[in-house]
Amino acid sequence: MSNDFQWKNEYSVHVNEIDNQHKQLVKLIFKLFNSINTHSTKDELGGILNELIAYAEYHFSTEEKYFKEFDYELTDEHIEEHRKFKKKAVDLQKKYVDNEIEISFELIDFLEDWLIEHLLTADQKYVKCFTGHGLK
């Protein structure tokens, strides 16, 4: 991850509520990155990781609410991506708490790569559906 990991317009899904949530996820990943760089304590890093996982869960629930409301055709596929991410993130969190792993740049790379890939592929697929139902 580079120090310039930031929001880019190409990530936008053209729905303010969801774009703002995506921006918050980017901020939290960058906060975790900065905490590793500054050698924060285990409790501080764990707290940021907890915050990131909780916020991701909140964000996924927002998207999934609209999938149901708009009868989005790729709902099952998209929810499966969310489920896989949550499982991986919670597994990493448990290993961290149990002192099996350190929060490292590998974790940051996983989070950054997953988010960017998800924003540029899976999330772009629902733009037409969401905006077509009047979300802005």
- CATH number (domain holding residue 94): 1.20.120.50
Give Cα 89 distance to the centre of its chain.
10
* pLDDT band at residue 126 using 50, 70 and 90 as cut-offs: very high
SS3 of residue 133 by DSSP: coil
Mean pLDDT of 74-99: 91
Residue 106 has pLDDT above 80, yes or no: no
Of 111, 112, 121, 109, the closest CA to residue 11 belongs to 121
Mean pLDDT of 89-101: 84
Structural domain span for residue 33: 14-132
> What is the total count of domains within the chain?
1
Q: Find out whether 126 and 13 touch, Cβ atoms under 8 Å.
A: yes
Burial of 5 (0-12, 13-18, 19+ CB in 10 A): middle
Look at residue 70 and tell me if it is in a domain: yes
* pLDDT band at residue 99 using 50, 70 and 90 as cut-offs: confident
SS3 of residue 1 by DSSP: coil
pTM: 0.91
Q: Given the structure tokens 């991701």, which residue do they identify? A: 56
Look at residue 30 and tell me if it is in a domain: yes
Look at residue 2 and tell me if it is in a domain: no
Of 21, 34, 37, the closest CA to residue 115 belongs to 21
Q: Cα(5)–Cα(7) distance, rounded to whole angstroms?
A: 7
Look at residue 89 and tell me if it is in a domain: yes
Q: Give residue 3's pLDDT.
A: 55
* pLDDT band at residue 10 using 50, 70 and 90 as cut-offs: very high
Q: Give residue 4's pLDDT.
A: 57
